[in-house]
Amino acid sequence: MARTSAEVEQQLSRLEIETPSWGYGDSGTRFATFSQPGCPRDPFERIDDAAEVHRLTAAAPAVALHFPWDRVDDVAALRRHAESHGLRIGAVNPNLFQEPEYKLGSIANPDRAVRQRAVAHLVECVRIATELGSTAQSLWLADGVNYVGQDDLRDRRERILECLQEVYAELPPEQQLLLEYKPFEPAFYATDLADWGSALLFCQRLGERAAVLVDIGHHLHGANIEQIVAILAAEGRLGGFHFNGRRYADDDLIVGSVNPFELFAIFVELGTELPRLTIDQAHNVEAKVEAMTLSVVNVQEAYAKALLVDRDALAAAQADGDVLGAHELLLDAFRRDVRDLCGRVRVAAGGVADPVAALRESGYAERIARERGSVAAVSAGGNG
């Protein structure tokens, strides 16, 4: 039996999305970063933007932070600033890819001193997370090699395991360690955590609070993401998502902008046991706060449609081997226009019916542009 509309709305109202502090700042490709007017000047202003997205959508009550990018002198003040906007701090994201020392890797680096430095940063992030009330370390490891033979792939795995074990030992009971995989970029021959299997093996060794984070854009062409999700969930190791959209590589576009049917299929697979859902995008050419708002709306709609699937009829058709009957039950849910339904849920939760339109009407973008000003474009080198 399909859920009633009331049941769908009730379930949908529980959806909580984390938006990323770094998604409000300037981003770009290796070719150029185009600065936008109104770009937040500090972590506090990033939280202000996140608060605006939550005000409109009523579904984005947490902000994921990135260190050292969100480093402030007074961590407690940052937490209070978030809470004063009705937000909490989401996952803490350490950064192991920018320092010159990490050129040949961080915790996989052949140089022990570099690995120790990396571990120290990870442990510091655990401490910061505790202060912020965060319940997860969300670690993307850029480590890898560019050339066959550059380093020993098995030795690198052992180094990583040893370092992660050190960090895991420091985790307080309320924090999870999320390991994010990615097939390539910045490494172009072998990335140490290249796929979900690689990440899962480390989690198995670390302990129960280690889980895999699935970034939509971190797969080879053709990978079936919802199937990976099903496996990780069945294994009790689905730690969460980084949502975005992609056609080619790790494009970091707006979630749902490339294949909304895939996003729907992921939510069908998840059912109502949702893990941590975080947006991770780079809004290089589009207005950032609007992009984030649209992203939250896209996720809400995908989840709403998934909730509308008649699960009993689906199970029956599947058991009968009725290939098209089962498939058509999903189509039936996907084809519906759920904008009104989602609008009602948002309004009931304190948000607005049409967040993107409301944002445009509010003049928020113009106001922050005025107040914060613009910075000059920062351009990176490199050639096509």
* Footprint of its own copies on 110-129 (CB under 8 A): 110-111
- Interaction mask 127-146, its own copies, x per CB under 8 A: -------------x-x--xx
Comparing CA positions, the residue from 282, 328, 274 lying closest to residue 302 is: 274
347 binds its own copies (CB under 8 A): no
The minimum distance between CB 77 and its own copies, in angstroms, equals 23
Binding-residue total with its own copies (CB under 8 A): 125
The minimum distance between CB 141 and its own copies, in angstroms, equals 8
236 binds its own copies (CB under 8 A): no
Q: Which residue in 259, 272, 347, 367 binds its own copies (CB under 8 A)? A: 259
Residues constituting the chain: 384
User: How far, in Å, are 200, 253, 257, 383 from residue 295 at the CA level?
Assistant: 28, 9, 9, 31
- Interaction mask 65-104, its own copies, x per CB under 8 A: -x--x-----------------------x---xxxx-xxx
Which helix H or strand E contains 119, and what residues bound it? helix 112-132
CA 234 to the chain's CA centroid: 21
Comparing CA positions, the residue from 72, 82, 77 lying closest to residue 18 is: 82
Residue placing its CB nearer to its own copies in the complex, 100 or 173? 100
Residue placing its CB nearer to its own copies in the complex, 28 or 130? 28
Question: Can you name the residues that pair with 179 across neighbouring β-strands?
Answer: 139, 212
* Footprint of its own copies on 283-312 (CB under 8 A): 284-287, 290-291, 294, 301
351 binds its own copies (CB under 8 A): no
Strands 144-145 and 18-20, by their bridges, are unpaired
Which helix H or strand E contains 293, and what residues bound it? helix 288-307
SS3 state at 68: coil
Contacts of 345 (CB under 8 A, 6+ apart): 9, 12, 13, 58, 300, 304
52 binds its own copies (CB under 8 A): no
Segment interacting with its own copies, rule: CB under 8 A, options 46-54, 74-82, 117-125, 327-335: 327-335
Segment interacting with its own copies, rule: CB under 8 A, options 3-11, 48-56, 78-86, 326-334: 326-334
